[in-house]
Chains A and B, each alone.
Chain A
Amino acid sequence: SQQGEEDPQALSIQEGENATMNCSYKTSINNLQWYRQNSGRGLVHLILIRSNEREKHSGRLRVTLDTSKKSSSLLITASRAADTASYFCATDAVGGGADGLTFGKGTHLIIQP
């Protein structure tokens, strides 16, 4: 079953604006990761935040994690047309073994030039 659920499912904004995507999950986690997928391509790892961290930055990306609410957000600042893609959160569940991450259904982000 899906662990992470992204919200919204789709988001369309103007270039230069900030884009915020949210992810909710159900079980205790070791870390939460965000990935990006361009249409018809594989996923690319963007950023990881550990369960004991509350906020992390990488370039124009800002990720927050609230373990009490079991939620995370990904903020992309000063969006560019090239940011158009689908964004997925993935959780590494506590006690999950070697069986990989559990991915949400994704947010499809469209940046209008």
Chain B
Amino acid sequence: SQTIHQWPATLVQPVGSPLSLECTVEGTSNPNLYWYRQAAGRGLQLLFYSVGIGQISSEVPQNLSASRPQDRQFILSSKKLLLSDSGFYLCAWSVNREKLFFGSGTQLSVL
């Protein structure tokens, strides 16, 4: 069966520090991969999506970047975190857009 792993669950980072969040998917090949951010009490904002290795599309200009070094690995990074980068980050995968499978999320606090 398919599973998605996202870590860490919580992260507290100082302003200006780097960031690396990792997401891996098991049990499926060539999935579409997504990074969403959710501000407190708000909906989900799509940050990046990828349809294949090395293929990254960005939805909003920001301080973050994403990479897909392997078929089932998706990484969210930043060289220097800002206060506004705080939020709940969710990785997701799908085969088509009829169902997204989400990871358990990472709560990032930038102080």
Question: Which residues of A does B touch, CB under 8 Å?
Answer: 2, 4, 30-31, 33, 35, 40-45, 48, 88, 90, 92, 96, 98-106, 108
Contacts and interface: CB of A to CB of B under 8 A. Distances in A.
Nearest to A98: B51
A90 B34 CA distance: 15
A45 B97 contact: no
B111 to A, nearest CB: 19
Contact of B43 (A33, A99, A106): A106
Nearest to B4: A42
B51 A100 contact: no
Interface size class of B (residues with CB under 8 A): 20 to 34
Closest 3 CB pairs between A and B? Answer: A42-B102, A105-B43, A103-B44
Contacts of A4: 43
Nearest to B39: A105
B20 interface: no
A100 B100 contact: yes
A72 to B, nearest CB: 15
Interface of B: 6, 32, 34, 36, 41-44, 46, 49, 51, 57, 59, 88, 90, 92, 94, 97-105, 107
A4 B46 CA distance: 14
Given A42-B103, A42-B104, A43-B90, A100 B34 contact: yes
Nearest to B51: A98
A31 B98 contact: yes
A90 B38 CA distance: 14
Contacts of A44: 102
B105 A40 contact: yes
Contact of A88 (B34, B41, B43, B105): B43
